[in-house]
Copies of this chain bind each other. A is one copy, B any other.
Amino acid sequence: MPNTKAYAAYAPDQDLKPFEFDRRSVGDDDVKVKIDYCGICHSDIHFAHDDWGMTEYPVVPGHEIIGHVTEVGSKVTRFKPGDLVGIGCMVDSCRECTPCKNDLEQFCEKGMVMTYGSPDPEMGGVTQGGYSSQIVVKEHFVLNISDKLDLKGVPPLLCAGITTFSPLNQWKVGKGQKVGVIGLGGLGHMGVKFAAAMGAEVVMITRSPEKGEDAKRLGASSVLVSTDQEAMASQAGTFDFLLNTIPVAHDINPYMPLLKFNKTMVLVGATPIEVHSMQMIFGNRHLSGSLIGGIKETQEMLDFCAEHNIVSDIEMVNIQDVNTAYERVMKGDVKYRFVIDMKSL
């Protein structure tokens, strides 16, 4: 009888249904975790629906995992049974290449092993994620979670959190800076919380003025409506940093002139964009992409959250409601992330 209960997406209808499979037994440097909560990330939906043409069915999504350690291998030093831990988007990498040695496992030259949907170097087949009762992960990829935080809001930190924290951290956002967060969804709401906690003046930039109140509750000091050309023009050349979280194809020409010269917009949404080079040439402006963060930086983010009492705003659901939750995410009908209570499995 398989040792792990889960929900998996199946072809051809792509709905998630009950699934059982075997996790590997605990190796010397492995940590076994009983999963308490798992966040629902938009990537889970793209993967379940094979939007990126790389899905092997059945697949168990989920890379925002919070749980308790139940067993550790003989060489594990940082964890013991009972510890509260997290697992994010990666569960392995080569640990020997230049990016790995520089704490950038997400750029491992041999390819990071993603928490689900990657070729599984230990078991064959593909890795299976966190919509499951338990998981076995190498110690290096297991994160410490502070019990000071409201645990239910912690899972999204492991993807939405690090995705927005990393660029704000890398570009040294802080006091005295004016930072714009474009788009108020799962990523954007974390971006506002982090940038405000880092001490920046945060401006929520959105097409939807009705999002203003919530943006201010989250930490924005003001709201800039991107369809208001006069307002946009009045703030041209005043921003030190822009975090663009828009998840659908769009034109960034209206936003680039908001930046001071030599400043940067970072894209974290996976989407096609258009821009006229003149918007970047006049002002030597920069556009960058940013992919999650390495394990070391993810731990720094979690520690920052514990220090500043930051979690995600979430709605809790049972695993049986995951297909409905997916539909609501696709309609943008969630403030701001769903988390699955794995007790319901």
| A contacts, CB < 8 Å to B | 99, 104, 107, 261-262, 267-291
* A285 in contact with B276 (CB, 8 Å): no
* A272 in contact with B261 (CB, 8 Å): no
* A280 in contact with B288 (CB, 8 Å): yes
Residue of B nearest to A278 (CB): B270
Q: How many copies does the complex hold?
A: 2
Select which of B267, B270, B277, B283 is within 8 A of A267 by beta carbon: B277
Q: What residues of B have a CB within 8 angstroms of the CB of A261 in the complex?
A: 99, 104, 107
Q: What residues of B have a CB within 8 angstroms of the CB of A104 in the complex?
A: 261
**When A104-B261, A107-B261, A261-B99 are in contact, do A280 and B276 touch as well, CB less than 8 Å?**
no
Most buried by B among A275, A280, A289: A289
Q: What residues of B have a CB within 8 angstroms of the CB of A285 in the complex?
A: 288-289
Q: What residues of B have a CB within 8 angstroms of the CB of A288 in the complex?
A: 280, 284-287
Residue of B nearest to A264 (CB): B286
Q: What residues of B have a CB within 8 angstroms of the CB of A289 in the complex?
A: 277-286
User: Whole-angstrom distance from the CB of A159 to the nearest CB of chain B?
Assistant: 13
* A281 in contact with B286 (CB, 8 Å): no
* B290 in contact with A287 (CB, 8 Å): no
* B271 in contact with A277 (CB, 8 Å): yes
Q: What residues of B have a CB within 8 angstroms of the CB of A276 in the complex?
A: 270-273
Please measure, in the bound complex, the distance between the C-alpha atom of A252 and the C-alpha atom of B112, giving whole angstroms.
Answer: 25
User: Whole-angstrom distance from the CB of A112 to the nearest CB of chain B?
Assistant: 10
* B291 in contact with A284 (CB, 8 Å): yes
Select which of B272, B280, B287 is within 8 A of A274 by beta carbon: B272
Please measure, in the bound complex, the distance between the C-alpha atom of A261 and the C-alpha atom of B109, giving whole angstroms.
Answer: 10
User: Whole-angstrom distance from the CB of A106 to the nearest CB of chain B?
Assistant: 8
* B286 in contact with A286 (CB, 8 Å): yes
Please measure, in the bound complex, the distance between the C-alpha atom of A286 and the C-alpha atom of B277, giving whole angstroms.
Answer: 14
Please measure, in the bound complex, the distance between the C-alpha atom of A284 and the C-alpha atom of B288, giving whole angstroms.
Answer: 7
Q: What residues of B have a CB within 8 angstroms of the CB of A287 in the complex?
A: 280, 286-288
User: Whole-angstrom distance from the CB of A22 to the nearest CB of chain B?
Assistant: 31
Select which of B262, B270, B273, B290 is within 8 A of A275 by beta carbon: B273
Most buried by B among A104, A261, A282, A288: A288
User: Whole-angstrom distance from the CB of A174 to the nearest CB of chain B?
Assistant: 19
User: Whole-angstrom distance from the CB of A314 to the nearest CB of chain B?
Assistant: 24
* B283 in contact with A107 (CB, 8 Å): yes
**When A99-B261, A104-B261, A107-B261 are in contact, do A273 and B277 touch as well, CB less than 8 Å?**
yes
Please measure, in the bound complex, the distance between the C-alpha atom of A286 and the C-alpha atom of B269, giving whole angstroms.
Answer: 15
User: Whole-angstrom distance from the CB of A154 to the nearest CB of chain B?
Assistant: 24
Q: What residues of B have a CB within 8 angstroms of the CB of A262 in the complex?
A: 107
